[in-house]
Chains A and B, each alone.
Chain A
Amino acid sequence: MTVAVKDLSQDRQKQMIASHYARLSRAGQEGRKVVYTFVPGNLTELLNNLGLLPVLPEINALQSGMRGKTGEYIQVAEKAGHSEDVCTYVKADIGMLKSGNLGPTGEPLPRPDLLLLSYTGCFTFLKWFELLKREYDCPVVMLHVPYQGDGQITPAMRKYVSDQLRDVVIPALETLAGRKVDYDLLSEQLALSARAEEDLVWVLESAKHRPSPIDAYFGGVYYIGPIFTSFRGTTDAVEYYQLLRQEIQQRMDQGLGPVTPEGTLSQEKFRIVVEGPPNWTSFREFWRMFYGEGAVVVASSYTKVGGLYDRGFRHDPTQPLDTLADYCMGCYTNLNLPDRINLLEKYIHDYSADGFLINSVKSCNSFSAGQLLILRELEKRTGRSGGFIESDLVDPRYFSAANIKNRLESYFQMVDAKRARA
């Protein structure tokens, strides 16, 4: 490994995020309205169009997890009556709220003026906002998003969602903002979204190269940061992804492997596809268990929770409401099981993976339901080795490092033994 050097894109992302939190901390003084919403199916372009500021509770929870705060937040939430099996993002958020709602900069996050539930594919989201509504005494606007039970988005489904956008969501947001949506601006924003999406897809697909210049899971979660949060449809996002693309292109030209916290990975021994969210409380330790064995994640489903751009979807500036409807219905967890299996199978083939791993998080049903079936089916279809580990999103009690390391070592040795026989 070589010494870790911060890339320009990383600095750029840091500045963007810092400026967003600075805006949030000034929201009260400047009289700006704040909307809490979730990553899957987020309507960032609409919020920005109306000058509303988004706060994403699950991002707060995962950042709290990375800062080592969630253990204590979860206990606070449990003390307040939330049971052990509830999604730990919810408990971390409730605990944070009850502990002063301090954001990553140490300043309190503004209270929401509205809760925008624009993705109902995760039932927990619904309950989560029900809880927040009680805490903040503010309105909730809900966009009901149909599940892709038959593996496709039909015109009727699209109309159902875009009608809700036009008749319910947009009027509520306009009332809050005190102004109307500027549709010319919205088209421009959506065009910017599509440009950033194009570059993001290029970056994610660079992992098809050998050696992969990126880790599409541990590195991937950083790459999706701007576009999954409050920057989609902005020039900031477009510039960030251009910069990132240039850097990755350079790595590829130089034949370099992915960046890790301990420098560039010098030898790619395993190419792995990962299904399921990562663990955030021991994120670095978890990552080290991979790069320590020379394992690179070449594709992951988690980096598609905020949009499956690599299947061709781009925000379409000519059809603003329909395209937002398609986006909301197109998140990874809104796919049915056969479609998830097809997607992962395609990743295994397209990215020449040696195997695939499932990190199963019991408290996240959107992901975990059906994962063993996925495992079996993928093993059968691809003949590659499947691995299964269990951890949690942000509850440090459910990350048993010794056991997970043991499991992963066994898994990589199994892949090796199987490869040697092939």
Chain B
Amino acid sequence: MDCFVGIDLGSTTTKAVIVDADGRIVGRGITNSRSNYDIAARVARFEAFTNARFDMLGQALRAEPGLGQSSAAFLGALTSGYRHECFLGQLQRLEDHCRRDVDGARYQDDRRAVGHALEVILQSVRQDAAKIYSGGAAARSDFFRDMAGASYTEHAAQLARAGGPAFDRLIGLFDRNIIPVENEQETRTFSQLLMAALDRVVQSSALQRDAVAGVLLRVAEAEMREVSAVGTGYGRVRLPFPKENIRSEILCHGLGAHLMFPGTRTVLDIGGQDTKAIQIDQAGVVTSFQMNDRCAAGCGRYLGYIADEMNIGLHELGPLALGARRRIKINSTCTVFAGAEFRDRLAAGQAREDIVAGLHRAIILRAMSLLARSGGIRNEFTFTGGVGRNMAAVKALGEVAQENYGQLQMNIAPDSIYTGAIGAATFALRGATNSVASN
């Protein structure tokens, strides 16, 4: 299969999308951007190819006479098994790094105690992961750092309370060694990981391994040829692409929104460190845009900061705000001031959910000012970016947009976080098609 790749290197997450020669999206990958864009791009791309192969697997399995109706359940189990394998691979690498650290001078006084604690903690992390991947528990995030970190922190705290090594000693071990782990790649190939995942599924079901292994291997080894790639987003200059394969995220978001919702005329994208208001024409070509310039107040990071302040996961923030009963007006959208604002209002006796809803509305009001600058909202209106996943932000935007511009068709795609990467992948496809045509 010929593949065209779009990579969106954002400040918070890096996304990759693969489209086939017909422009159909066949794979999506996402990872946290870390401090290393090169690795982030590589991981996101790998994830997208993985996702594309699972997509192909789904098709192949549905066509398998022996599986029939149970193919979806099998694919689900196989996907979880695959993720579980990847997690365990990373956890193993984390353990290796931690062990080397424990053997060093830093732990010469409490080496035995820390070494033992590490073993106990990692065993518990493995058990937590097993629960998550078997569907018995919910994950706070899809990223290894967040999942392993949450579990590690919890068990390290328990151990410290029970008289084990100090919490700081244990958490320092994790913080130092998670960095190299994030910057390393999985050493096993897709086929190897898939076969390991299959072994897991076979163990827990009556399925005959050999009956499906052949199908799986055929898909795993099928050729996926990357014809061209286009990069976008903040880190785009880091990509080893020629200049013509680097596109601004404005153009990519405009085109991506158009592809998802062809009726789109106005796009609002709230990302980690910027907010973009984009106007596009009927072909998805950008006609004007505005972005926050001198200051990043009111961007997605604002919500991340609040979540950190409250010690909850970013994805828990929206549901909390949806429970608000009173409307509280918050004016400041300065990310740094947000924490003080939050604590001040808590101290004044206001409810957490009401305050958080007020904070959501504050960033939406800021976005509205940017939209006004770009020429207002025209129908249809598409909301993209990471903040589009937050239902409280979506609700606030819907209300404010209607107050200002009347009834509108507002589109939010479940995978709107990939908007820029979808646009980039389509630019890659069009670029390749045009160069073939001109040759």
Contact = CB atoms under 8 A, between A and B. Distances in A.
Contact of A389 (B251, B286, B293): B293
Given A410-B251, A413-B250, A390 B293 contact: yes
Which of A372, A388, A409, A417 is packed against the most chain B CB atoms within 10 Å?
A417
A398 interface: yes
A74 to B, nearest CB: 15
B356 to A, nearest CB: 28
A406 B234 contact: yes
Interface in B267-320: 274, 281, 283, 285-291, 293-294
A275 to B, nearest CB: 15
A385 B234 contact: no
Contacts of B286: 414, 417-418
A406 B287 contact: no
Contact of A379 (B249, B281, B288, B373): B288
Interface in A396-422: 398, 400, 402-404, 406-407, 409-410, 413-414, 417-418, 421
Which of A376, A402, A403 is packed against the most chain B CB atoms within 10 Å?
A403
Contacts of B274: 403
Contacts of A372: 373
Contact of B251 (A362, A391, A414): A414
B288 A390 contact: no
B265 interface: no
Contact of A414 (B289, B293, B373, B375): B289
Contacts of B249: 410
Contacts of B288: 379, 385-386, 414
Nearest to A403: B293
Interface residues of B, number: 20
B404 interface: no
Given A404-B293, A407-B293, A413 B248 contact: yes
A418 B285 contact: yes
B28 interface: no
Contact of B373 (A388, A402, A404, A421): A388
Interface residues of chain A: helix, strand, loop or mixed (majority) = helix
Contacts of B291: 403, 406-407
Contact of A410 (B248, B287, B293): B248
Contacts of A409: 248
Contacts of B287: 379, 385, 414, 418
A284 B369 CA distance: 32
Nearest to A398: B294
Interface in A43-72: none
Contacts of B248: 406, 409-410, 413-414
Contact of A413 (B234, B251, B281): B251
A314 to B, nearest CB: 38
Contact of A362 (B247, B250, B294): B294
Given A376-B375, A410-B248, A421 B293 contact: no
Contacts of A406: 234, 248, 291
B373 A390 contact: no
Contacts of A402: 234
B375 A421 contact: no
Interface in A342-380: 362, 372, 376, 379
Interface of A: 362, 372, 376, 379, 385-386, 388-391, 398, 400, 402-404, 406-407, 409-410, 413-414, 417-418, 421
13 contacts: A379-B287, A388-B290, A389-B293, A398-B294, A400-B293, A402-B234, A403-B291, A410-B248, A413-B248, A414-B285, A414-B288, A414-B289, A417-B285
Given A386-B288, A413-B248, A414-B285, 5 more contacts: A385-B287, A403-B293, A409-B248, A410-B251, A421-B281
Which 3 A/B pairs are nearest by Cβ-Cβ distance?
Answer: A410-B248, A390-B293, A410-B250
